[in-house]
Amino acid sequence: MSVQHLCICVLQQNLSAFPGRLDDFSALLSASVAGFKVDPLLFSKIFCPLFHHISSSFVFCPFIPSFPQAAAPPPPPPEEEEEADEEETEDLGHADTYAEYKPSKSTIGISHPDFVVETNTLSSVPPPDISYTLSIPGCSISSGLLSALQLEAIIYACQQHEVILQNGQRAGFLIGDGAGVGKGRTVAGIILENFLKGRKRALWFSVSNDLKYDAERDLKDIDASNIPVFALNKIKYGDTATSEGVLFATYSALIGESQAGGQHRTRLKQILDWCKPNFDGVIVFDECHKAKNATSTKMGKAVLDLQSKLPRARVVYASATGASEPKNMIYMSRLGIWGQGTPFKAFDDFLHAIEKRGVGAMEIVAMDMKVSGMYIARQLSFSGVSFRIEEITLDEEFKLVYNKAARLWAEALELFTRAADTLGLASRKSLWGQFWASHQRFFKYLCIAAKVRRLVDLAHTEMQHGKCIVIGLQSTGEALSQSPFPTGMRRPDGSVRYETRAEQGLTIDHVNVKEKERFMTGEKLIAIISEAASSGISLQADKRVQNRRRRVHMTLELPWSADRAIQQFGRTHRSNQVTAPEYIFLISELAGERRFASIVAKRLESLGALTHGDRRATESRDLSQYNFENKYGTKALDKITKAILGYIDNKVPPPKGYPGGDIMFFRGNVILANCLFLSCIPDCTITKFLNRILGLEVLQQNSLFQYFTDNFDYLINKDKKEGKYDMGILDLAPGNDEIHEETQEKFLTPGNPQEGQVILYKVHVRKGCIKLIKSDSKDIYNVHTKCKACSTSLFLPALKVTPDEAKDFWKSQFDFSFTNCTHANWNGKCKLIEQGQECFLGMRLRQYHMLCGALLRVWKRVSDIVSDITNSSILQIVRLKTKQNSKQVGELTFCYLLLLNPVS
């Protein structure tokens, strides 16, 4: 009898000891079956993963777990917060997010078949001049096998590979193109280029062995089918007899080990033996975001190790999400951003400097990388893509089931706490780690169950309109169905039958490929994809396939990682498609499910993919409303926890209409607050909070979440009023105002891998005239404002006059306000100017100073000076376009004189 079977038997045998409540955990601790004594710690380790298999055997009952309460707190002090006056608006705002992309310095190749865009920020800086000459045959270029965009990326990658960093390693290149632009063909082109240069061996790492067939297809599509592709998983350990070509492997293969003949062998050693000493061929890290946890996982460490042991290899990183967050760049050691000869001695120094500088900092990093020739990032336009969130209303029957499940888990939590106390466990990290992981899985699948019926209805409707369906899941549960405790599709008599997915004459390795073909030919019109199938495959309405129906991509299970969401979106929105897809996010009304939407939203905001790519599609409903993983979310969580525990008197009231009023709301949430606040300091994170509230009953969960979001909104509005809100990258004078460049000073900054320059621009903005709005309803208007800067009241009775009567008056006002503030206009003088200060209220001429160029090289020195002067760690990054059509992106600063010395 297996240990798992033993535990199930123990549970089933002892359930009779609990008539309605699971009070006596000691009965389980002392239980034995067939003479086997159950080890309590072993039982607790196994119980959590199996909890969902036996939950139907428990009796549901109302239960409020008891927790040791904190000492009675003193009367809560009122929050010391003052309402802030609204600041005068600056000449800053948000303009379009994207600009049409075309190669600026590469002139070869045929245009890409689809409309491709680049962020406005990146489009404002040029790539370096081209010095590399391609060896790819002219016929491959003229025939369009590689588009102009793909050829540009190949040129810059090969050009960057000619650079040797100061640490002796060869510089690498990052392809950040979005899904569907054609990273596969670009990578194949880089391999072909090096093959023609005499470098006949290449390594290609990706996330799935199935993608080996896609690699072969990409090489064939560019007329390079003579380059063979070998799958590492088909080669025996220790065998290095394969000839020249491409060795294709998964990231997990990097940590593969074998014990043969007493001699320990590893896949990493096998790969290094195959490469031979002084290897200078290509290493492709496709979907390289898989190595983002490089210091905490064996896989990530192996990626770093391989790069270290092959210092002259030509490294290519390829990922649509690789550089979206600085912490995920740790494995990109070949970019030369940190390390010897750079402003950042180690990756941690780089990470700290970027993360504390606001949301625009990563755009500066991306700009610096593009200018230096190590990065390129384009993506398909989302024009034509529709996107909506479908919120699912829960019926009373489902709420009843959910509430019973919540009470069951609350009871289990107390029992596990009691058991841990009884056993005197000093370390409970493993116990609670497994408990909460199982808790999260249980309620996640319960959330999915609430949406299936609506998804089926939507799918039927869309198919009746001549469309086909792609359903996104993270896991199909196939591995679980092969466990000793099946939960599969059952016969009427309760028995279970398993069927292999492999067909006669077809190996299991080819199943996904065959199923994809059936969907693309129209034999099947519904595709269900999981995380395992969400990298590399193409399911778009391709012009070259039979099934050209519009794809409706429904996300039934929100991913645990936004990287995974981006990968799934890229399956149905790709190049050469007849129509763009429709995206539907199904989200239940359970507040806790927004935890999953939150992390997706965070990444979509940083990439600008769906939330900003097409304003017509997103309208006002986008996922940004669910993004709570920021400083405001953290502070809001701290406020509501302390308010529930009675430590502070919160200005934000709890939700109205809670049964029993405010008193019952606070009393009902004390348990969760204790669990989060008292036991988790200082590790009370948003992720943990949004995971935990999934285990509350529906009404309590939604009310608590509402209280949290009310506090979240309050904090944001407060910072906006005080001028402390980080707006990200803003556009200077985004309307019809004119921007003129006055002067520029250039400074060379030594950097790695090449020198860059920083430019200090002086520009001025000329505002247009004030527009008058015609009104037929009233003849007289009263204008009354109060200037926050000097408390001057400005009062004007406005009369309705003809344009001719107003012409002279407005012309004088127009001329006077060019260099004079509103106070001087009405009062003849300005108190602020008389006191030696500046005043720009109502002035049509404004001057600004901007630092542009390779800011990353002087980032720390500039930010330290700005921080000392402004007491803020945020550097305001702005975009502008001058009257002469010159685009600039840089840091807006008023302390330019102090910056001259450190920059130079």
In tens, the pLDDT along 35-48 reads 323 333 333 333 33
Residue 713 neighbours by CB under 8 Å, 6+ apart: none
CB 92 within 8 Å of CB 878: yes
Rounded Cα distance between 634 and 631, Å, is 5
Residue that is written with structure tokens 């941690």 in the block: 348
More confident residue, 104 or 800: 104
Rounded Cα distance between 320 and 306, Å, is 22
| Sequence ranges of the domains in the chain | 3-38, 138-379, 386-617, 631-722, 727-768+844-903
Q: How many CA atoms lie within 13 A of 892 on its CB side?
A: 20
Q: What architecture is the 138-379 domain classified under in CATH?
A: 3-Layer(aba) Sandwich (3.40)
Cβ-based burial of 625 (10 A; exposed 0-12, middle 13-18, buried ≥19): middle
pLDDT digits (tens, 9 = 90+) for 713-766: 899 889 888 767 766 677 777 666 788 888 888 877 655 445 567 888 888 888
In this structure, of 81-85, 93-97, 506-510, 813-817, the range with the lowest mean pLDDT score is 81-85
| pTM of the complete model | 0.70
Q: Amino acid identity, residue 184?
A: G
- Hey, which CATH number is domain 386-617, 3.40.50.300, 1.10.3080.10, 3.40.50.150, 1.10.3760.10? 3.40.50.300
For the four alpha carbons of 638, 639, 642 and 648, in that order, the dihedral sign comes to positive
DSSP H/E element including 305: helix 298-309
pLDDT digits (tens, 9 = 90+) for 91-100: 665 555 678 8
Q: What is the mean pLDDT of residues 171-189?
A: 90
Model confidence at 536, pLDDT cuts 50, 70, 90, reads: low
Q: What is the mean pLDDT of residues 47-55?
A: 33
Cα 278 to chain centroid distance, Å, stands at 37
Predicted pLDDT at 215: 93
Say if residue 521's pLDDT is above 90: yes
Mean pLDDT for the chain? Answer: 75
pLDDT digits (tens, 9 = 90+) for 654-670: 888 888 888 888 887 77
Pairing of strands 257-260, 780-786: unpaired
Helices and strands counted in the chain (H then E): 31, 28
Q: What percent of the chain has pLDDT over 90?
A: 22
Could you tell me the two tokens for 779?
């003849």
Cα 490 to chain centroid distance, Å, stands at 39
Count CB-CB contacts under 10 A for residue 471: 19
Q: What is the mean pLDDT of residues 875-882?
A: 78
Model confidence at 858, pLDDT cuts 50, 70, 90, reads: confident
Rounded Cα distance between 620 and 613, Å, is 13
Fold match, 138-379 / 386-617: yes
More confident residue, 791 or 564: 564
In this structure, of 104-108, 472-476, 514-518, 581-585, the range with the lowest mean pLDDT score is 472-476
Predicted pLDDT at 749: 65
Rounded Cα distance between 123 and 111, Å, is 18
Q: What is the mean pLDDT of residues 877-900?
A: 71
Residue 757 neighbours by CB under 8 Å, 6+ apart: 746, 747, 748, 749, 853, 854
Closest alpha carbon to 335 in 169, 500, 185, 200: 169
Say if residue 685's pLDDT is above 70: yes
Predicted pLDDT at 263: 53
Question: What three-state secondary structure class fits 890?
Answer: strand
Rounded Cα distance between 288 and 284, Å, is 9
Say if residue 279's pLDDT is above 90: yes
Model confidence at 187, pLDDT cuts 50, 70, 90, reads: very high
Q: What is the mean pLDDT of residues 347-374?
A: 82
Model confidence at 375, pLDDT cuts 50, 70, 90, reads: very high
Predicted pLDDT at 25: 30
Residue 691 neighbours by CB under 8 Å, 6+ apart: 436, 439, 440, 592, 595
Secondary structure letter of residue 247 according to DSSP: E
In this structure, of 71-75, 200-204, 479-483, 879-883, the range with the lowest mean pLDDT score is 71-75
Could you tell me the CA-to-CA distances from 751 to 170, 746, 759 in Å, in that order?
15, 15, 15
Q: What is the mean pLDDT of residues 50-78?
A: 35
Model confidence at 896, pLDDT cuts 50, 70, 90, reads: low
Closest alpha carbon to 76 in 776, 818, 729, 646: 646
In this structure, of 134-143, 236-245, 467-476, 673-682, the range with the lowest mean pLDDT score is 673-682
Closest alpha carbon to 636 in 706, 577, 734, 571: 706
Residues written for the chain = 904
Count CB-CB contacts under 10 A for residue 506: 12
